[in-house]
Structure 1
Amino acid sequence: MKTAYTAALSMLAGIAVGAVAIEGLHAQSTPKAYVVSEIEVIDQGAQNAYLPKVTELIKSSGGTFLARGGNIFAVEGEAPKRVTIAVYDSFAKAQAARTSPEWKALAPERNKAIKVRSFITEGLPN
């Protein structure tokens, strides 16, 4: 009887380890997603009030900034005034963050502070 319990526990442990390994492999194969925003500040005071809120929202929804302002050089066409790039673990997470009720609630402040053109693009597979 003791052997049966040992075998059963070994099988359960094997299943658990296998499930964790598969989840890890799946996470590695999911391409990251990038949110690119071209920004023009139209009210600096409103922008100063908006920035901490949007920064916290992006971070709390799983986003990380890769670029935020800084130098911009136009290779073709006209360069935007300001650019931000945020990365998320997946396209679905980026899309969920940018269509969330919290994101929509910031729209009045965003519209007062900036003109923005944003899009999500999926990265290459890992």
Structure 2
Amino acid sequence: MPAYFIVEVHVTNPEPYAAYRDLATASVARHGGRFLARGGAVTALEGDWQPERFVIIEFPSVDAAKAFYTSADYQEALQVRLANSVGKAFIVEGYSPPM
């Protein structure tokens, strides 16, 4: 069953943050993920939440998403992200309709 790694990000230092994009892109590919959304326009429909940047990455499973997140290569990228942005990240299990 697929799983989704979702991050809401507010970039505080755009120039150094650029290194994160390159590191994360390579790590996602190595771990079998694919970007579904990456910083496109966000339209809030309900509530007072005003997110400015979302990233959604699909992985084959929750275990694969966790392996990506805890991998040495992503941890290197994560340090860059955390130093140059604030945000929230989580993994959500996908849905497979019954056959």
Same-fold call, TM > 0.5? yes
Which structure is higher in RCO with an 8 Å CA cutoff and minimum separation 6? 2
- C-alpha displacement of 1:40: 0.5
Structure 1 stretches of 4+ moved >6 Å: none
Aligned to 2:72: 101
Cα distance in 2 for partners of 1:58, 1:34 equals 12
1:54-104 alpha-carbon deviations (Å, 9 max, x no partner)? 111111111100001111111223121100100001111001111122222
Aligned to 2:17: 47
**Equivalent residues of 2:17, 2:85 under 8 A apart:** yes
**Taking structure 1 as the reference length, what is the TM-score of the superposition?**
0.70
Aligned to 1:63: 33
- Of all paired residues, the percent bearing the same amino acid is 31
**Taking structure 2 as the reference length, what is the TM-score of the superposition?**
0.88
Cα distance in 1 for partners of 2:53, 2:39 equals 5
Cα distance in 2 for partners of 1:92, 1:40 equals 27
How many equivalent pairs are there? 96
**Equivalent residues of 2:20, 2:78 under 8 A apart:** no
Give the number of the structure whose residues are more often strand, by fraction: 2
Cα distance in 1 for partners of 2:75, 2:39 equals 23
Structure 2 residue runs of 5 or longer lacking an equivalent are none
